[in-house]
Every structure is written in C-alpha cells, then in structure tokens.
Amino acid sequence: MKVLYSFILFSILGISTFAQGIVQQTLNSTNKNPLVGCGSHDLLLKMAHAHPGRLQKANDFLKSVQQDYHRSARYSATLYKIPVVFHVLYNTPDEDIPDAVIEGQLELLNEAFRRQNADTVNLRSDFFSLVEDSKIEFYLANQDPNGNATTGIVHKQTAITNFGGILPYNISQQTQIAQWVSDSLFYNFFRITKDSLGGDNAWDTAQYLNIWIGDMTILEPQINNAEELVFFGLSTPPVSHTNWPTATVEQFSGLGDGTLMHYQAIGPNNPVPFTAPYAVYNGKANTGKLLVHEVGHYLGLRHIWGDGNCSVDDYVDDTPRAGAQSNYDCNKNINSCGDTITGIDLPNMVENYMDYSEGDCKNSFTKGQIAVMRATLENFRVDVFTSIQTHNFSQSEVSLFPNPTFQNVTVTFNKILEKATVQVLNLTGALVHQQNVTNVDQTIVELPNRTGIYFVRVLAKEQVMTFKVVKR
C-alpha cells in the first residue's frame, strides 16, 4: 500500500489540463453531451512532473527516432508480434464483455496496425505517401505466465461498481475538483490492475500487453443528480522510455502497465452500447478504433495535436500540426496550422488514429508514427514482442499479368487467400493505391492513369511479393 500511496502523492502540475477538462465536462453535462476521452497524456505529464527533466528526455527520444527514420527510411520486412491478455472486470453481468466481442476487437486492432482495414480507402490522397503498414501484430496469449494454456481472456467479477470513483464535490468547488483529480482519479482507475483493490493482477508486463476492461465511469452525486462521467481509456507510456528513476518504475509497475478501457468502448459490435444521455458516444467510442489509439500510446505515440496549440508538436515529422483535437468530428476542411510536410501545407489529418476524431473517420498511422512505435518496442518494450521475418511468396504462389500493361493488372494466387492487401507504389515508394481482398484467388488492381513504372506489392500474413510493373 505504501507504494500505491506514494504514487498518488505525485504533484499536481501537469494534471491541470485534465482537471480543467473534468471541470469543463461537469459544466457541459447540462447539455447531455459530455465528452471525456483519453487520459494517457495527462498520465504521462503526471509521471514526468515527478521527475523534472524526464519529459524533455522523452521528447528527445522521439526527436532522435525521427532523425534516424529520415536517415534510414526503408520498408521493414520484420513483423513484430505481441501477445495480449484481456482482463475483463465486471460488477454486473452486462459488463462481462463476451469473448467474441474481444476477438472482433483484436481483429480490428490487427487490421488497423497492418493497414488492412477496408476504410483506408477514405484517406485523402494528400496523405497517401505518408502512411504505411506498421508490421506490428497482436494475438491472444496462448500461454499464461505459469506456462499453462490460456485463451488470453480473463473474466472476473468485482465488487467495484465504477473504477473512476465518486467525485465528492459540487460545481462551485473547482479547486477541490482539480485536487481530487490529481490525488485520487488515476489511483481509482488503476485499482483495476490489482487483485487486492478489486481488479485483476497484471501478467508479467514485460512479456504481455495487458488490457483491462471495466466500468471506468466517475460518479458525480453532487452534480446533475448523480449522472456520471464516462471515461474511455488510457495507456501507460513505456516506463523506461525516459530512464525513469527506479522508484518511479516500481511505483508505476505496482499499478499495472498497459491499457485501461471502459467496457462500452470496446468494439465493434459492443453488446451494451451507450444509452441516453450518452448515446452520442455510439459511433465515436465503440467502433474499436479507440483501442487502436490507446495501443498507439502504449507504443510511445503522442496525440497528433501535441495536446497544445500550433506551437506544440507531437514529435512526429510527417503528421501535420493541429491547433486542437478534432472533438469527435470528421471535418476534413480544417487546416489549423501553417506547417509544411514535403513542401505542402497539409490540412489537419483527422484520419489519424491519434486524433480525437469520430471512430469511422480514423484509418491511418503515418510512417513517422510507425517509426516511433517500432523504436519504442526495440528500445523500451524489448521482451514483449517476437520478430518474424516476412518472406517472399514463391513465384508459383502469386503471379501478375499483363506486364507491361495499358490499363490495369490482375494478381492471381495459386490458392484462395483468406486475407491479403495489394498496394500500388510509385517509383519513390509512396503508396498511391491500396485494396484489401478476402477469400479470393484473383483480383484486378487499378493502376494510376499516368504512364510509368509502378510497384505492386502483395501482402498476406507473413508473406510479401513485389512486382515492378510498366504502365504504357
């Protein structure tokens, strides 16, 4: 308990934004549209403030990743695979999210990280050259820490009705609310990661990505007749990311390293969608994209708007700056900051998983973000993944014709493929077209109108094949 209490004594600077956010939500809740999103950045600031200079080191790491990435930009042939354990904590039976929903969520997570989701076609062409398959995959753990066979999903009943806890103040007590957020809220949330506090202990966080699912609401009995604030999720930053002092690592790992998710924010096909007055969250927070966002944080990413105005960066060079988060909208007409990427002032990238845009809006990670996630694994979460070298299809397994072509080409597989991605890249390696296919042995691939040389890349599970195609 001593360790836990020292965690909550972290000082209050760095949580002020979040505190203001909570206060703002309580004010807004009269219009029945309160939005409380992701707590990852506030948690990072809270941790960093305990050790002055550490945030700067974290930022320097991100900058160095971008420099390395620019020096050695290349297509990685190595697939990183991460075992995942889901801890489902439920107080009432409807909070006990079924395995089928979790399996669907994991499938969506993989599609997003492998850029195999059908909605990648909605990405504006301005961004095509910036995005890529991360070559990071997740699978349900098949062995528990004791070496026993497992489904990778733990279901456990808890006496805790809501892990956010109870806000004991009214709206006129904003200073006290801010203090409560600082002292109690994160501690409340992280109870879900400890057996002794009504949660479920982590599996070795060095070996598994732990994802806890539970009721993350915060009750506000003194505001709006006990209506609640729904908190969607948060992830811990990679702890050794900034060479945290040992004491901090211990404090933090004592509270569980991984991702915490509200049970209604798991998707798609969540069996208990939000109801009034929170039905507005449906389609925003339970499309399955929120977990993609949170795992992005777990792998070291910041929000795309840098949690600040145009002067604040996310330390990723190929994400356009944004003056603010996009408020669960999908407005493609905003260009809030004048910055240039490859010589172009790009609009806000609302399609990015690290924005707060609507669920269906989000479909991409940039290459710079992928560099951060892979470098985070390689440097700070070194035991959580295994590397698998992708290998080429043999020539008898996949073929392409005609080549040269005047129009399109047809890719043929020697057997029906469950799932594959076909990409068209230009001579500089920029993605110009992508299509995902399922259960096919043949697909027609669109080439751009312009004549020239293109690369057609076929990706399936751990196999890849690239054809050089001449368009006449």
Question: Given the rule CB under 5 A, which residues bind Zn ion?
Answer: 38, 40
Shortest distance in whole angstroms from residue 297 CB to Zn ion: 5
- Residue 38 or 154 having the CB closest to Zn ion: 38
- Residue 38 or 411 having the CB closest to Zn ion: 38
- Residue 197 or 216 having the CB closest to Zn ion: 216
Shortest distance in whole angstroms from residue 293 CB to Zn ion: 5
Q: What is the distance between the alpha carbons of residues 239 and 440, in angstroms, rounded to a whole number?
A: 43
- Residue 40 or 264 having the CB closest to Zn ion: 40
Beta-carbon contacts of residue 255 (< 8 Å; ≥ 6 apart) = 4, 7, 187, 190, 193, 194
Q: Provide the edge-to-edge strand list for the sheet that holds 165-166.
A: 165-166, 218-219, 228-229
Assess contact for 212 and 258: CB atoms under 8 A.
yes
Shortest distance in whole angstroms from residue 46 CB to Zn ion: 14
Q: Extract the tokens encoding 6.
A: 């020292």
Assess contact for 30 and 275: CB atoms under 8 A.
no
- Residue 152 or 238 having the CB closest to Zn ion: 238
Q: Extract the tokens encoding 452.
A: 């020239």
CA angle 320, 265, 192 (to 5 degrees): 110
Q: Is beta strand 165-166 parallel, antiparallel or unpaired with respect to 218-219?
A: parallel
Please name the helix (run of DSSP H) or strand (run of DSSP E) that holds residue 468, with its range, or none. strand 463-471
Shortest distance in whole angstroms from residue 456 CB to Zn ion: 35
Q: Which residue of this chain has its Cβ atom nearest to Zn ion in the complex?
A: 38
H-state helical runs in 153-220: 174-180, 186-190
- Residue 38 or 65 having the CB closest to Zn ion: 38
Shortest distance in whole angstroms from residue 120 CB to Zn ion: 21
Shortest distance in whole angstroms from residue 76 CB to Zn ion: 25
- Residue 38 or 371 having the CB closest to Zn ion: 38
For 165, half-sphere exposure in the C-beta direction (CA atoms, 13 angstrom radius) is 17
Shortest distance in whole angstroms from residue 17 CB to Zn ion: 13
H-state helical runs in 35-117: 40-49, 54-71, 99-113
